[in-house]
Homo-oligomer: A and B are copies of this chain.
Amino acid sequence: MLLARVAGTVVASRKEPRLDGLTFLLLEQLDIDNKGTGGYVVAADAVGAGVGEVVMYASGSSARQTEYTFERPCDAVVMAIVDSWEVGGDDRYTK
């Protein structure tokens, strides 16, 4: 999984029918110090994350292992909202 901040949302009305009902979030990847790396990905939202929140997302076939994304053509899913992480005993991020 990777850490990311929810930067915004993507709207797509014309899409593969199996995607109906999914919310697509635009994620900015974060490094271990909670700074943006410049990389981004679009992920389905399985946890109701809001813009600005820090999340974890899973990629590849693992992104289809939620009830929300099962058997859908979706390769990234937000599967957790992050409360905090620490490195060597020091908090690097707290919600």
Contact = CB atoms under 8 A, between A and B. Distances in A.
Q: How large is the interface on A (under 10, 10 to 19, 20 to 34, 35 or more residues)?
A: 35 or more
A42 B2 contact: yes
A85 B11 contact: yes
Contacts of A83: 11-14
Contacts of A9: 85-86
The copy count of this chain in the complex is 5
Interface string A1-21: 111000111111111101100
A64 B28 CA distance: 25
13 contacts: A1-B74, A7-B87, A11-B83, A11-B85, A12-B80, A13-B81, A14-B80, A14-B83, A19-B79, A26-B85, A46-B73, A60-B62, A61-B61
